Amino acid sequence: MKNCFVFIYLTLFLFISSLSFADCRGCCSGHGGVTCVNGITMCKDGTGLSEKCKAKCDKCGTGTVSDSPAPATSQPASSAKPKTGKKAGSGNISNDSFNKAKKSLERQVYADHRITFYCGCPFDQGKNVLSCDRYTPKSDSKRSRKVEWEHVVPAAHFGQSFKEWRDGHPDCVDGKGKPFKGRNCASKVAIPYRYMESDMYNLVPAIGEVNRLRSNFRFDMISGESREFGACDMEIDSQARVAEPPERVRGDIARTYKYMNQAYPGHGIIGRSSVKLFDAWDRQDPVDQWECERCRRIEAIQGNENPVVKEACKAAGLW
């Protein structure tokens, strides 16, 4: 008799749980179903939930299951601590705020090393570019005098891999009822995108004008030596949509791409045509003391390793 009551209890519990889960799953119709990642309920393709669905799903409470997201989300399974090491998917899972990432870089990483990435010019606490003979502005614009935080791997590059960026989302509607997509939509509803956008290993201080003209162009070699910024060896071909960086940061760029490709698989970070180029840049411009120190500081703040840089630093005796 006792076993009978236990059986009935378990059957009812599982039935109620399945109803709750089905309810929650209904919020992710067309998005692979619901999943619980790092304490956050989301759709399996990385789509965020509406407020109504969040209430239904109870933020990874009753009616949800712990799961690993689909490959497109590139997030590791739920864990108390960010995963580290070589395993694919070991990217940023501690901060999904781009603004917070920029402030951490300004205050905790670059506070004693305020040097712009491409042109090597100093900047002050207010992000003003100081007098520098390594850089000649193309125009007398405000952005030529200010520092901005640039994505080495452009946000548009990996952002296109998210459905919300390409097609929008029901929750991406402005105050006038007009739907929107692109970066703003991905930032609003796709949590995995926000983690990628906020990954500090992929952010560097760049002069605003250089950042604007580089846009989201890919890195490659450009024939000739057409310099638009004086002594700053940053070449940009806007027609071909290609940028050629100075030799002294080519290895940094290659290792950043390799890290992002490893940490967020399935987002097409490195195309086949760029593999040999980045391998060559990695060899030609090895890690230096600052790149290793920067990596060490970001790891302490963000929580996950950058094994590409870290292992190179150890091999060079700089870790």
pLDDT for 93-114, tens place per residue? 999 999 999 999 999 999 999 9
Residue 271: Cβ-neighbour burial (10 angstroms; 0-12, 13-18, 19+):
exposed
Q: Give dist(CA 97, CA 176) in Å, integer.
A: 26
As beta bridge partners, residue 147 has 207
* CA end-to-end distance (rounded Å), the chain: 66
Alpha helices (H) in 117-265, listed in sequence order? 155-159, 163-167, 183-189, 191-197, 208-214, 250-263
Q: Looking at residue 167, what is its pLDDT?
A: 97
Q: Looking at residue 36, what is its pLDDT?
A: 56
For residue 155 the two structure tokens come to: 């946000």
Segment 128-135 long-range contacts (CB within 8 Å, at least 24 positions apart): 129/207, 133/230, 133/231, 134/230, 134/231, 134/232, 135/207, 135/229, 135/230, 135/231, 135/232
What residue ranges in 54-116 does DSSP mark as E strands? Answer: none
Identify the residue whose tokens are 């956050």. 40
Identify the residue whose tokens are 């509406």. 50
Residue type, 118: Y
Q: Give dist(CA 93, CA 38) in Å, integer.
A: 8
CB 263 within 8 A of CB 304: yes
pLDDT tens digits, residue range 73-83? Answer: 333 322 323 33
pLDDT tens digits, residue range 186-227? Answer: 999 999 999 999 999 999 999 999 999 999 999 999 988 778
pLDDT tens digits, residue range 134-186? Answer: 999 999 899 999 999 999 999 999 999 999 999 999 999 999 999 999 999 99
Q: Give dist(CA 231, CA 13) in Å, integer.
A: 71
